[in-house]
Amino acid sequence: MENSAVEVSDVSFKYGDRIALSGVSFSVQGPAILGMLGPNGGGKSTLFKILATLNQPLTGSASVLGFDVVKERNSVRKVIGVVFQHPSLDKKLTIFENMKHQGHLYGLQGAKLRAKIEELLKSFELADRADDAVSTLSGGLARRVEIAKCMLTSPRVLLLDEPSTGLDPGARRDLSNQLSRLKNESGVTVLMTTHLLDEADGCDTLVVLDKGTVVARGTPRDLKSSIEGEIVRIECDNPANLRDQVLSELGVKTQVVDHSILVRSKEAEALALRIKERFDDRINLLSIGKPTLEDVFHEKTGRAWSID
């Protein structure tokens, strides 16, 4: 059987006495886009650093394309591309100059390097901006340059740490399209950390992390489908008090999340009508929706989704 693109087995890590990862396991067959989704402090950036060979797991093991991230770190580094959350571009240089200097770091020179740069600039729709200083670029364009730069070595696995940080929705969609193209046309497996639920929804598969443990994994569709029925959301001024009355008078189990009352039901429309008839004067907004990844997180952890 061919090696998984990435294999993580019972990985744990600590910062002093603080547990960052505890028994994390998952695997992904490429090419695919895998999202490591979680709130801040969930452990996703620590896992990113382990896969990028920057940290060593305290226990367990991890491999990329069959290469152990500790014992064969040099082999791992030859097959991965890494884009960190904080920009690594020299703003005083042009796009082409940034690409050229990156190539020099990996021993690429001359006509071969120029041809590779021109190929990537065209592929990432940056050819007409090649001579522009990075300082003049929007956040979305700069992020595309970051990814194009790390593709100079033709990595088979691309690691991205919070790639959409600071980007507007349009730039996030553009980035998503670029990553899908890399997967479909170049066979690249992409692993990204993210705390953005809409970005996670576009991944092929997800590993949901919370407090250093995997609380859910699967495709976004399967994770959302695991929650039966629909979600009735009630927004009001005093959710704790209204929750108790809904439970007492209608006999349905409710939960308060982010100043709203959530009720899961297989007969959501009928239930919403009953709630409206009985408590209309106390409700600011009543809505019905399909389960979301936010609902999945709440279902698995008992807590509201928060990135603080």
Reading the chain (308 residues) residue by residue, the pLDDT tens digits are 356 899 999 999 999 999 999 999 999 998 999 999 999 889 999 999 999 999 999 999 999 999 999 999 999 999 999 998 888 899 999 999 999 999 999 899 999 999 999 999 998 999 999 999 999 999 889 989 999 999 999 999 999 999 887 788 888 888 898 899 999 999 999 999 999 898 999 999 999 999 999 999 999 999 999 988 888 989 988 888 888 888 878 888 787 876 788 888 888 999 999 999 988 988 999 999 898 898 899 888 877 776 65
Question: What's residue 66's pLDDT?
Answer: 95
Q: How many CA atoms lie within 13 A of 72 on its CB side?
A: 13
Q: How many CA atoms lie within 13 A of 156 on its CB side?
A: 16
DSSP 8-class letter at 128: G
244, 210: one domain? no
Q: Residue 213: enclosing H or E segment and its boundaries?
A: strand 213-218
Q: Residue 114: enclosing H or E segment and its boundaries?
A: helix 110-123
Residue 44 and residue 26: Cα distance in Å, rounded? 13
* pTM for this prediction: 0.84
Question: What's residue 220's pLDDT?
Answer: 96
Final residue of a domain: which of 219, 244, 277? 219
28, 96: one domain? yes
118, 240: one domain? no
DSSP string for residues in 34-79:
EEEE--TTSSHHHHHHHHTTSS--SEEEEEETTEETTTTHHHHHHH
Residue 280 and residue 35: Cα distance in Å, rounded? 40
61, 12: one domain? yes
Question: Does residue 299 belong to any structural domain of this protein?
Answer: no
36, 77: one domain? yes
Question: Does residue 295 belong to any structural domain of this protein?
Answer: no
Output the CA torsion sign for 270, 276, 277, 278: positive
Look up tokens 């999945």; give the residue: 296
Residue 74 and residue 77: Cα distance in Å, rounded? 5
Q: Tell me how crowded residue 115 is: count the other CB atoms within 10 A of its CB.
A: 10
Question: What CATH number should be reported for the domain holding residue 282?
Answer: 3.30.70.790
Question: Does residue 88 belong to any structural domain of this protein?
Answer: yes
CB 163, CB 171: distance < 8 Å? no
Question: What's residue 308's pLDDT?
Answer: 55
| Contacts of 80 by beta carbon, 8 Å cutoff, 6+ apart | 51, 52, 64, 155, 156, 157, 158, 159
Number of folded domains in the chain? 2
187, 59: one domain? yes
244, 190: one domain? no
Final residue of a domain: which of 219, 238, 258? 219
Question: What's residue 246's pLDDT?
Answer: 84
Question: Does residue 71 belong to any structural domain of this protein?
Answer: yes
Question: What's residue 1's pLDDT?
Answer: 39
CB 27, CB 220: distance < 8 Å? no
Question: What's residue 61's pLDDT?
Answer: 97
Environment class of 71 (CB within 10 Å of its CB; exposed 0-12, middle 13-18, buried 19+): exposed
Final residue of a domain: which of 219, 239, 260? 219
CA nearest to 37, candidates 292, 192, 208, 210 = 208
pLDDT in tens, 158-204: 999 998 877 888 888 888 988 999 999 999 999 999 998 989 999 99
Domain that holds residue 280: 228-290
Environment class of 81 (CB within 10 Å of its CB; exposed 0-12, middle 13-18, buried 19+): buried
Question: Does residue 66 belong to any structural domain of this protein?
Answer: yes
Distance from chain centroid for Cα 138: 22
Question: What CATH number should be reported for the domain holding residue 82?
Answer: 3.40.50.300
Residue 127: phi, psi to the nearest 5?
A: -60, -40
DSSP 8-class letter at 85: S
